[in-house]
Chain A
Amino acid sequence: MAGADMAVGILGALVLAHAAYITILYRGDLKIKEEEFVRPPIQVWIEVLISLVLCLWAALRVPGTFLPILPDSKENRVVALPANLDFMIFNHRGKLFAPELEAKFTKS
């Protein structure tokens, strides 16, 4: 999963490097013809746009998915108690945050 997105990112970087290479060659040509550099050729613009799209995709997918922060959400349910229960107290102020749970038992 992450491998495919990483490959997309690397492809984006390669396309960008290729665009840079083409611009360098273009600049060399301009130096020979003694013309001023105004803007790079259309091909470079297209390649840069493609690489931007690919890198945007990779940047959003590779670091991972978001985790919900509300304690009531399904992914944050405490489904197993840890082993060191002897050191835990449950008579604390957490009872003031009474959640409205539709408690479903999940097989785990």
Chain B
Amino acid sequence: MRKEGEPRTAKDAKKSDEVVETPAYSQENIQHNMRIIYYSRTFLSIVGGVVAGVLGLTGVTGFLCYFVIMMLASAGIAVKTKFDVFSFFDSWNRITIDGIAQGFMSFILFWTFAYDIVHIF
């Protein structure tokens, strides 16, 4: 036992001194929520691609269109969680950044399709 006035040593450290904050999440529900975001973003990437093609956007404006649509999607998802993000996801990154890279390829594909159909053929 430690006497008063003596410095704390490693022997005095108790497990209850540390506050280990590892929250236990329901993995199945996290995956369910991620799947919902993924479906939403994929559909919106396709719609965004067709929009960019129909409007005849080329180059940087087209990519800008994609990012605007993804930002709108992120805002929509944040509203869907009623801004109480941490009871559905483990970090803000899930809403703002995840899924954007995967949708990008679909966007380019449908953008090329739509542009060709509307403006070239």
Does B47 lie within 8 Å of A12, measured CB to CB? Answer: yes
Give per-residue flags for A71-84: 1 if the beta carbon is below 8 A from chain B beta carbons, else 0. 10100100000000
B108 within 8 A of A: no
Query: How far is A16 from B50 in the complex, measured between Cα atoms in Å?
Result: 8
Q: What does the 1/0 interface line of A21-51 toward B look like (CB < 8 Å)?
A: 0011001000000000101100011001001
Tell me which residues across on chain A come within 8 A of B19, comparing CB atoms. none
Question: Chain B: which residue is nearest A55 at the CB level?
Answer: B47
- Write out the residue numbers on chain B whose beta carbons fall within 8 Å of the beta carbon of A12: 47
Interface string of B16-39 (1 = CB under 8 A from A): 000000011110011011011001
A16-B50, A27-B119, A37-B56 in contact; A52/B33 too (CB < 8 A)?
Answer: no
Count of chain A residues with a beta carbon within 8 Å of a chain B beta carbon? 34
Docked-complex contact B47 and A19, CB < 8 angstroms: no
Q: Give B59 Cβ to nearest chain A Cβ, in Å.
A: 14
The yes or no answer to A105 lying at the interface (CB within 8 A) is no
Q: Evaluate whether A66 and B33 lie within 8 angstroms (CB atoms) in the complex, with A20-B118, A45-B55 already known.
A: yes
